[in-house]
Amino acid sequence: MSRRILFLGPPGAGKGTQAELLARALGVPHISTGAMLRDAISEGSELGKQVEAVVASGALVSDDLVLALVEERLSRDDAQCGYLLDGYPRNVAQAKALSDAVGAEAIEVTLLLDVDTDELVARLMNRSAQQGRADDTEEVIRHRLGVYLSETAPLIEHYGTDVVAVNGVGSVNDIFARIVLALAG
C-alpha cells in the first residue's frame, strides 16, 4: 500500500479526519500545513520565527516558506517510511516545487475525497453554526469552494493516473473503509 499520500478535496470533505485515521492505521505522520505552521511558531525555530513575523503582519505565508517547512518536516525520521500530506500542495506551482525539492516520488498517490457541492455547503454551514461563526455565510462558503475549484482542483489533472477518487459521503467509518479498499486495490 502506498505510504506517501496527498489528501485532496474541497473544504468540508473530511480530509483532516480521514487523514488522521489513515495515518494511525499506516503508522505514518499526518502532516497538516496548518498544524505545521502553528507548531513552528510554538517551537520558536528559525523558520518558526519567520512564520510568526509573517502571520503577525497579517500577510499570507509565502510558498517558499511553506515549502521550507514541508521539506524540514519530511526530513524527520518518522516520515522516512511515509506520510500523509494535508493542505500542501494547494496548487500546481506548489506541487512542482515540492517535486523539485523532494523528488518526483514525493507523492505516490493522491487521494481525492469526492463530495457534492450542496453536501459540502450543508456540512460547512452546520460546522459554522456549531462553532458560532456567523461570518461563514453560504455566500462565503461557496466562494471558498470556488477558490478550491480554481486553485486546488487542477492538482487532480496534474497528478493524473495517481489520483484515487473516493466517495466522501457517509459515516466516518464507511468513508474510511472505502479509502482503505481504494488504496489496497
State pLDDT tens for residues 114-129: 999 999 999 999 988 8
Whether 63 maps to a domain, the answer reads no
Tell me the pLDDT of the chain averaged across its residues: 90
User: pTM for the full model?
Assistant: 0.85
User: At residue 20, does pLDDT exceed 70?
Assistant: yes
State pLDDT tens for residues 97-106: 999 998 988 9
Is the Cα torsion angle 90, 177, 119, 16 positive or negative in sign?
A: negative
CATH number, domain with residue 27: 3.40.50.300
Q: How far apart are CA 144 and CA 9, in angstroms?
A: 12
pLDDT of residue 2: 59
Q: What mean pLDDT is predicted for residues 64-78? A: 91
Whether 75 maps to a domain, the answer reads no
111: Cβ contacts below 8 Å, ≥ 6 apart: 5, 6, 7, 8, 163, 164, 166, 179, 182, 183
Instruction: Evaluate whether 111 touches 164 at the Cβ level (below 8 Å).
Output: yes
Whether 65 maps to a domain, the answer reads no
> Structural domain of residue 108, as residue ranges?
4-32+81-184
Residues forming the active site:
15, 90, 127, 133, 144
Q: Please, which pLDDT band fits residue 179 given cuts at 50, 70 and 90? A: very high
Whether 176 maps to a domain, the answer reads yes
pLDDT of residue 23: 95
Count of domains observed in the chain: 1
Q: How far apart are CA 137 and CA 74, in angstroms?
A: 36
